[in-house]
């Protein structure tokens, strides 16, 4: 019996850049998905019980698209590993997670990474974080149906404790990067959840790829603002999306420089610019995200704030002076009042102050398993 954990993430800066071969700067959160694993005699079968979702029996040798939606990322990873000749069945898992689902904190990537690491561990195989991440990303694309980049799975698998990670999504490298000492990352949940985003995400990605092709480039990573003058005057949307990606890549590299120099004012300004670009040029923000970002920017200690992740709902991220976190939290919670009438859960905002955590890890302690009901 063992347990495998994989964390969710928040992206500090570098949004909608990963699938353009660009740069992003996420960190792993103190929210995890944990799978407690016990053996099960039938090969090619996995039995999964998930807190809050129910149970699923998955055949690892035969893709079955009739599975419940929550089980698809799990099954996708199992099928992909078995297709590579790695026996993926013969175990039973209980899954628990405190990563809010649909909140742009990568709950889906965390389960994919955890499942891949369970199977690898059972087979005595060691893979680098990138290889683990690639299987998760492929499961998300092929079986969940969302053509995501590599960011979420890569940081969940490979984060280094105490550090954010600069991902170069062309070179596929993760470089650990320290946050300055006197600031804290605040994750701010608007209480809104995504709907119909998958279509919008795929559409944004397709527009970026089409625009790069029109410019004769492999990806928008290679584009400059001067290049955009070559786009047809009618292609306002392609222009805007590409302008965001080009400037966001620049901001992300500048943010790493600011972190290294301890220039928290510059880092915060870059985060503010990132949000404004995502709202106006890439058009993936929402009224709730804009409202919480505005509330954050007006609160004591805030150096910068922006939406995080794919967008449209979920969470935003702020950089806050560590000695003012309590005042920051009270003011944001007092001034944020967006009401999502279509969401039945708890509608209030939530704020968590988070230190960067390590990526996925194995836990051999039995108490972890018994904690999972």
The first and second tokens of residue 251, run together, are 């901001």
- Sorted by sequence, the CB contacts under 8 Å of residue 273 that are 6+ apart come out as 247, 251
Tell me if 15 contacts ligand GLA by CB under 6 A.
Answer: yes
**Residue closer to ligand GLA (CB basis): 108 or 272:** 108
The first and second tokens of residue 159, run together, are 């984060």
Q: Which stretch binds ligand GLA (CB under 6 A): 13-21, 125-133, 253-261, 319-327?
A: 13-21
- Residue 163 Cβ, how far from ligand GLA at the closest point, in Å? 19
Tell me if 10 contacts ligand GLA by CB under 6 A.
Answer: no
**Residue closer to ligand GLA (CB basis): 148 or 285:** 148
CA-CA distance, 261 to 149, in Å (whole number)?
A: 29
User: Between helices 107-122 and 129-139, what is the axis angle to 10°?
Assistant: 120
Q: Which stretch binds ligand GLA (CB under 6 A): 11-19, 36-44, 92-100, 250-258?
A: 11-19
Total number of residues that touch ligand GLA (CB under 6 A): 10
**Residue closer to ligand GLA (CB basis): 78 or 155:** 155
Distances (CA, A) of 237 to 211, 248, 335: 9, 17, 34
Q: Which of residues 129-158 bind ligand GLA (CB under 6 A)?
A: 148-149, 151-152
**Residue closer to ligand GLA (CB basis): 141 or 327:** 141
227 Rama sector, left if φ>0, alpha if ψ -120 to 50, beta otherwise: alpha
To the nearest 10°, report the CA torsion of 185, 115, 17, 174: 70
Tell me if 19 contacts ligand GLA by CB under 6 A.
Answer: yes
- Residue 294 Cβ, how far from ligand GLA at the closest point, in Å? 21
Buried b (16+ CB within 10 A) or exposed e, 312-346: bbbbbbbbbbeeebeebbebbbeebebebeebeee
Provide the annotated active-site residues. Answer: 152
Tell me if 215 contacts ligand GLA by CB under 6 A.
Answer: no
Q: Which of residues 276-335 bind ligand GLA (CB under 6 A)?
A: 309-310
Rg of the chain, C-alpha, whole Å = 20
User: Within 10 Å of residue 260's Cβ, how many Cβ atoms?
Assistant: 11
Q: Which stretch binds ligand GLA (CB under 6 A): 15-23, 170-178, 184-192, 256-264?
A: 15-23
Q: What angle do CA 145, 147, 150 make, to 5 degrees?
A: 125
Among 5, 6, 13, 16, binds ligand GLA (CB under 6 A): 16
**Residue closer to ligand GLA (CB basis): 60 or 177:** 177
CA-CA distance, 276 to 200, in Å (whole number)?
A: 19
Q: Which stretch binds ligand GLA (CB under 6 A): 16-24, 34-42, 158-166, 190-198?
A: 16-24
- Residue 110 Cβ, how far from ligand GLA at the closest point, in Å? 12
**Residue closer to ligand GLA (CB basis): 132 or 369:** 132
Q: Which chain residues interact with ligand GLA by CB under 6 A?
A: 15-16, 18-19, 148-149, 151-152, 309-310
């Amino acid at each position: 019996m063992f347990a495998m954990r994989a964390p969710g993430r928040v992206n500090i800066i570098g949004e909608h850049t990963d699938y353009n071969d660009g740069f992003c700067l996420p960190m792993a959160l103190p929210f995890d998905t944990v799978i407690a694993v016990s053996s099960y005699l039938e090969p090619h079968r996995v039995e999964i019980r998930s807190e809050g979702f129910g149970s699923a029996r998955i055949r690892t040798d035969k893709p079955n698209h009739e599975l419940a939606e929550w089980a698809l990322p799990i099954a996708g990873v199992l099928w992909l590993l078995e297709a590579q000749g790695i026996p993926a069945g013969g175990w039973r898992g209980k899954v628990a997670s405190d990563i809010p689902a649909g909140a742009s904190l990568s709950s889906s990537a965390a389960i994919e990474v955890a499942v891949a690491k369970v199977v690898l561990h059972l087979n005595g195989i060691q893979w680098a974080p990138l290889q683990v991440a690639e299987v998760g990303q492929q499961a998300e694309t092929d079986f969940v149906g969302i053509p995501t980049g590599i960011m979420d799975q890569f940081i969940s698998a490979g984060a280094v404790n105490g550090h954010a990670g600069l991902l170069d999504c062309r070179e596929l490298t993760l470089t650990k990067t320290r946050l300055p000492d006197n600031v804290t990352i605040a994750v701010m949940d608007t209480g809104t959840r995504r709907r119909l985003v998958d279509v919008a995400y795929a559409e944004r990605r397709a527009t970026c790829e089409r625009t790069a092709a029109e410019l004769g480039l492999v990806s928008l990573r290679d584009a400059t603002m001067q290049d955009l003058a070559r786009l047809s005057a009618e292609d306002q949307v392609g222009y805007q999306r590409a302008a965001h990606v080009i400037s966001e890549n620049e901001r992300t590299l500048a943010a790493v420089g600011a972190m290294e120099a301890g220039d928290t004012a510059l880092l915060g300004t870059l985060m503010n610019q990132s949000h404004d670009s995502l709202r106006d040029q890439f058009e993936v923000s929402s009224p709730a995200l804009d409202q919480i970002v505005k509330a954050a920017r007006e609160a004591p200690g805030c150096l910068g704030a922006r939406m995080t992740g794919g967008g449209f709902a979920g969470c935003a991220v702020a950089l806050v002076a560590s000695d003012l976190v309590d005042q920051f939290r009270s003011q944001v919670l007092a001034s944020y009042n967006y009401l999502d009438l279509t969401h039945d859960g708890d509608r209030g905002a939530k704020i968590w102050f988070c230190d960067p955590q390590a990526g996925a890890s194995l836990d051999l302690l039995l108490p972890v398993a018994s904690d999972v009901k």
